[in-house]
Every structure is written in structure tokens, then in C-alpha cells.
Structure 1
């Protein structure tokens, strides 16, 4: 089974007031940390989706060696960035499944990504999603049969809509730290405190 990871890093971090992609965590920029974890996983390939101020964000990772693309329509919402990544991998790689991950979930590591891949194979389900804060969400792995549904999402709709709509075909992986994303200054302070 060929697995591609689509790393979404296109947002403007408007609520945080600074680009979350370039926040330092455990000695690395968040975008570089996410790329490193994706590359350490058993997935076959990775593409990074940029949007807001791509030249600035590219300073946070080795853009010469990492496949990335710029979604000019990022401002339309997360669906647009995810779809530009999905179209790209469908054309270039023709994967059997894709993992969607976000740049602002600092606790996602290669072990979790490998677990998503393993559980998908073992469970026979079409989707394996992470469970946190009484909901299901990304990172999540989607079988090829869901690509068209993901391509039909609108503006700010995320992959969660597809996960919840197909609940009977979802295997959930417990990931309480998935709730620790970075949206506000308070989240950043919590992250800083967690490090120390």
C-alpha cells in the first residue's frame, strides 16, 4: 500500500499573531519538526502545502529538498489547501492512501503516523483517525475510496466532516495530545511551559 503524507502549513496564523510554522519547539521550527517526523515514518512520500507568505515559511525548512507546493487559494480555507495537496499526489504518486497532518500539532510523531498506517492495514477500515477532546480528527489516514469525498469539501470544512460522516468505516486511535494545537497566544504559552 502506497502512503503519501500531506502536511498542511498554509495558514496565516491570524489568531496567534505570528507564523506558527516558524515557532520553535524542541529545538526545531514546527514545520521542520513535522517534516522530520513524516520522513521518519514508514510513509512513502510527503508533500508540504504552503499558502500565506511562502517565502517566509520556506526559511523554516529545507525547501530545496522537500516537495512542496503553494496553494494560491489558501485564504478560502483548509479544504482548498488539502485538496491542492491531494490532487498533486493523485497525479504524481497515485497513492493507495493519504495521511493528512497539520503543522500546528506539535506532538504528532513518526510513531503515531506509523500506528495510523498499521491500524489501517489491521482494522480493514477505510479511515483511521485520532481521538481527542471527545471527537475524531487529524492526523488521519484515508483510503483512496474517500479521495473524491475529500475533494468535494468546501472552504473551511476540514477532513473531520468526512470522518464523522463515515463513522462506521473509521478506526479510532487514542491521541489525547492531539488537542494541543497552536491557535492563540495562550496555546503558545502552554507549549512553552510544557517544554520546561
Structure 2
């Protein structure tokens, strides 16, 4: 009997104020769409379903302006405390969904416009409830990151400030998935960092 494919959700972290960028990165227009729209589409096109988008800074404006398709919006009122709160809030939302059991979640920050659906699909290919995997670019770990369901409680417990899942991942074995042939994993911290 054939095992069903693992169910992989997408989790887009788009709640920050983008202080170094000068505005919330979710609202940055790049190549004809907002970064939050493009990133949500990358997760969906990479096979993630459902896709959750965590918003915070300018949440009302993001929801009014962005076409997020079928993505489920999660508002993080604690966004000023850092990315960790958005990760916790997003994992809580995925955990509470009742329409399907998710085996793993692929996490993507909104400020990685060089990440492609092909990279998401490649990392998602490692999905099991016990899996930890991350894209790597020329030997440097980056995004997207896949976290299996068994790890969600530990990640939620250690996700504080702007460190997200970093401390948890350092303490565990993570499969590194080379993606430099299909994506660019650089963060866009400032306008000049956006790919042309």
C-alpha cells in the first residue's frame, strides 16, 4: 500500500516594521507586486497548502493592499518583540487548524525575494513529522526552512526576540539542501539589496 504524500503547510513571516529598509517589507513593491504577495505565491507554487501569512506592522494596510489568494492571515500583535513571536503565532495557527493534519511546515521570511518555488519544493521534499531541513547556498544555511510537526513545541519554546528557530536548529541535526542552482537566499535588509 502506498503511503500518502506528507502534508506541508507554508508559513510566511511578514510582520516586521523593516526599520533598516525604511518601511514594512511586506509592502515593498518589487517586480510588479508586493513582497508579501510574491512570497505567498512562492510557497503555494512550491506545493505548500495551506499557506499562512503572519502580519504585524501595518497589518491593516497589508491586508487591504495585498492579494494573498487563499492564504490564511494571522495577525501578530506582539510583532515589536521580534520574529520569534511571529514564528510562535504562525505555528500555533497551523497547530490549531482542523481541516487537515499537517506533517511539516516550510518557513519563509518575506525579505528573501530570490527564493523560488523550486527551492521550496526541493526543501519540502524532506517533509516528515520528525524532519528538520534548510536550504543552503554554497554551503551556507538559509531559507526556506522545513520543520516537522514533532519539533513545533520545542521551536515555539525557544523562539524569542529576532532569533526565530535559530537556537533550536543549532541544537539539532538539520538536513542541508543545496539550492544555489535554483534560487538566491540573500535577505533584502535595505532597498539596494533587492535583486534587479
Q: TM-score, normalised by structure 1?
A: 0.85
Name the structure with the higher helix share: 1
2:153 maps to which of 143, 148, 156: 148
User: What's the CA shift string for 1:4-48, capped at 9, x where partnerless?
Assistant: 111000000011112221222222111111111112122221010
Partner residue of 1:112 out of 119, 129, 135: 119
Change (3 A) 1:127 1:65: closer
1:94 Cα deviation after fit = 3.6
Stretches of 4+ aligned residues off by more than 4 angstroms: none
Q: Which whole-Å deviations, capped at 9, do the CAs of 1:107-138 have from their partners, x for residues lacking one?
A: 112111110111446xx972110224754233
Paired residue secondary structure (1:18): coil
Matches within 5 A, 1:177-188: 177-178=184-185, 180-184=186-190, 188=191
Using a 3 Å threshold, how does the CA distance of structure 1 residues 141 and 156 change in structure 2: closer, same or farther? Answer: same
* 1:6 pairs with 2:11: yes
CA 57–119 in structure 1, closer or farther in 2 if over 3 Å, else same: same
Task: Give the unaligned 5+ runs of structure 2.
Answer: 1-5
Structure 1 residue ranges without an equivalent (≥5): none
Deviations 1:40-83 (CA, angstroms, capped at 9, x unpaired):
12222101000111112224422574310110111111111011
Q: Which deviates the most, 62-71 or 92-101? A: 62-71
Q: Secondary structure of 1:112's partner?
A: helix
Question: Contact 1:138–1:159 at 8 Å: present in 2 too?
Answer: no
Q: Deviation digits for residues 113-170 of structure 1, max 9, x if unmatched?
A: 110111446xx97211022475423311111111111111222222222222113xx2
- 1:174 and 2:145 are equivalent in the alignment: no
Match of 2:3 in 1: none
TM superposition score normalised by structure 2: 0.85
